[in-house]
Amino acid sequence: MIDNITYDGSVRGHRRAEHRLRARVRTVAEAYALLAPSLAGFLLFLVAPIFGVAALSLFDWNLMGAPSFVGLDNYRELAADPEVWRAVLNTIYYVVLNIPAQTVLALLLALALNRRMRGGKALRVVFVLPWMAMPVALGIIWSWVFDPRYGVVNQVLGTVGIDGPNWLTDPAWAMPVIASVNVWQYTGYTMLILLAGLQAIPHTLYEAAAIDGTTPVQRFFTITLPLLRPSLFFVLVTNTIGSFQIFDTVFVMTQGGPGGATDVLNFHIYQQGFQLFRSGYASALAMVLFALILLVTAAQFLYFRKRTVYDFS
């Protein structure tokens, strides 16, 4: 009682705090309850396998017999394996072919579609359609398109007197073909994100700049590009990560060939794991890919962090 009188306010304060805490606990609990299914999935299907792969990379295991612990042997072997380096270079080559082309094309498309025009919405849908299609099915269809004898590409080239190359069996062409298929497939998606970014830029900025007598080109470089950074950052990071993991198109169209010209890291991992059944070595390679992506993503974060403005108001 006395306490009650003396510390009336505080107690009430305590109660309020307690109440708030309880409410908070409840909200958090609710949040977790709602998150639980996806969290469980995340832990079970993503986090656990990552640790599993990290552990497996220290073993020698053909999936059938008992795994034997080999320490860092797998890593030592891959460091000395020229095919691993070829796969790393092939992967980087693919990323270099893919990302700039895809980003620039998507940006141009987004700029073109960022205006009111007849059929603009329909066009947006058309550009996004490839992204929604199945990569494996697309790979098969593109293989037909690039067939040296019966494919559309060489037939069209033939009509203008060009003898088209053997796209998928010529080592010089195989990778550019793979890259162009993926550029075609993912440009629409990238365009969509950039378009959203463009539409978030306040129009008043352009009006003010126009009054100041700037040219459209100046406006693009001083307003559009800087303010589009968050979106560009997002597409560059996610697309680069995705590109490093290229697998499906290679698997369907070239199987890493001809002569290893499209043997990218992820395909090499598959080959070691599921054709040669060296799951430990394949896991070690997967860790290398992981580290490679982590490095590149970290570099992108560092580069963009300093220069990105998120708040336009």
Partner 1 sequence: MSRKIALSAVAAAALLSLAACGGADDADSTGGAVTLRYAMWDEVQKPPIEQSIREFEKAHPTIKVQIELNNWNDYWSKLQTQLAGRSAPDVFWDHVSYFPKFSKEGVLTDLAPLIAQDKVDTSIYDSKLSEGWKVDGKVYGLPKDWDTIGLFYSTKALKDAGLTPADLDGLTWNPGDGGTFVKTLQKLTVDENGKHPDEAGFDPKKVKQYGLAMQAPTGQQDWWNFALQNGCTLQDKPWGRWTIDQPACVQAIQFVQDLRLKYHVAVPATVTNPPNGPSLDQVVGRGEAATAMDGSWMLRAFDTALPSGGFGVADLPAGPVGKGSVYNGLTEAVYAGTKHPKEAWELLKWLTSEHHQKAVAQAGSVWPGITSLNDVFADAWKAKGVDVTGFKKAAEGTTMGYPLTEAADVYNVKALDIFNQVWLGQLSPQDAAQKINTEANAAIK
Q: CB of 252: closest distance to partner 1 in angstroms?
A: 11
Nearest to partner 1 of 135, 197 (CB atom) = 135
How many alpha carbons fall within 13 Å on the CB side of residue 66?
2
Q: CB of 50: closest distance to partner 1 in angstroms?
A: 11
Q: Is-contact 94 264, C-beta < 8 A? A: yes
Closest CA to 58 of 279, 305, 250: 279
Q: CB of 63: closest distance to partner 1 in angstroms?
A: 4
How far, rounded to the nearest angstrom, does the alpha carbon of residue 42 sit from its chain's CA centroid? Answer: 18
Nearest to partner 1 of 17, 43 (CB atom) = 43
Q: CB of 262: closest distance to partner 1 in angstroms?
A: 10
Could you tell me which residues come within 8 angstroms of residue 197 by beta carbon, excluding any fewer than 6 positions away? 110, 227, 228, 230, 231, 232
Strand partners, 60: 68
Q: CB of 46: closest distance to partner 1 in angstroms?
A: 8
Binding site for partner 1 (CB under 8 A): 45-46, 62-65, 135, 143, 148-149, 165-166, 168-171, 186, 242, 245-248, 253-260, 263, 266, 271, 274-277
- Cα–Cα–Cα angle for 162, 167, 168, nearest 5°? 165
Nearest to partner 1 of 254, 283 (CB atom) = 254
Q: CB of 148: closest distance to partner 1 in angstroms?
A: 7
Nearest to partner 1 of 82, 213 (CB atom) = 82
Nearest to partner 1 of 117, 133 (CB atom) = 133
What secondary structure letter does DSSP report for 63?
S
Q: How far apart are CA 88 and CA 79, in angstroms?
A: 11
Closest CA to 123 of 131, 113, 115: 113
Q: CB of 107: closest distance to partner 1 in angstroms?
A: 19
Q: How far apart are CA 288 and CA 140, in angstroms?
A: 29
Exposure string over 80-106, b if 16+ CB within 10 A, otherwise e: eeeebebbbebbbbbbebbbebbbebb
What secondary structure letter does DSSP report for 96?
H
